[in-house]
């Protein structure tokens, strides 16, 4: 059976694949993924601000290894995760839904693979201050390349 998939042949990539900047986001999904060397928390975010990116979503990972726990803790604190659960070293995937906060992202291509990095976090209450003093991502022309 043949299926028509418009745009399959073009080199155009969705702008959500190249997110670099600061965004006010909401957690839509979260799941723990076990891996022998690098277990991680997979997160699906919806962008709330800036308005030009409002309909976009993206995925990110926060690793749960001993060396990376500082970043997971930073994310949980700034997004308003339940402090009682955090103090008991517990992450409830259901408690992560609809948490809001600010994320600084960057996009990396390495050995032919694309990665969305979660570089920094801040509480949602700081969005106004951060968005006015920092670079809000601009719309990229389709087909642009950082190389």
Per-residue pLDDT tens, the chain, 147 aa: give them. 666 666 555 544 444 557 888 999 999 999 998 888 889 999 999 999 888 888 889 889 899 888 989 999 999 999 999 989 888 888 898 999 999 999 999 888 878 777 788 999 999 888 888 877 755 555 444 444 444
Classify strands 21-33 and 40-49 as parallel, antiparallel or unpaired: antiparallel
Give the pLDDT score at 51: 86
Instruction: HSE, CB side, 13 Å, CA atoms: give it for residue 130.
Output: 19
Give the pLDDT score at 19: 81
Give the pLDDT score at 12: 44
Burial of 89 (0-12, 13-18, 19+ CB in 10 A): exposed
Give me the residue spans of the domains in the chain: 17-133
Quick one: CATH architecture of 17-133? Beta Barrel (2.40)
What 3 state SS string does 37-87 have? Answer: CCCEEEEEEEEEECHHHCCCEEEEEEECCHHHHHHHHHHHHHCCCCHHHHH
């Amino acid at each position: 059976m043949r299926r028509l998939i418009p745009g399959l042949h073009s080199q155009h990539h969705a702008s959500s694949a190249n997110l670099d900047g600061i965004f006010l986001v909401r957690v839509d999904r979260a799941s723990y993924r076990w891996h022998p060397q690098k277990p991680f928390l997979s997160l699906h975010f919806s962008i709330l601000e800036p308005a030009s990116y409002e309909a976009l979503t993206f995925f990110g990972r926060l690793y749960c290894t001993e060396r990376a726990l500082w970043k997971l803790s930073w994310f949980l604190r700034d997004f308003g995760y339940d402090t009682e659960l955090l103090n008991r070293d517990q992450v409830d995937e259901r408690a992560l839904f609809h948490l809001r906060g600010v994320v600084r992202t960057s996009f990396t291509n390495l050995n032919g693979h694309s990665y969305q990095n979660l570089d920094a976090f801040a509480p949602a209450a700081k969005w106004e201050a951060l968005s006015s003093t920092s670079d809000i991502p601009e719309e990229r022309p389709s087909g642009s390349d950082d190389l």
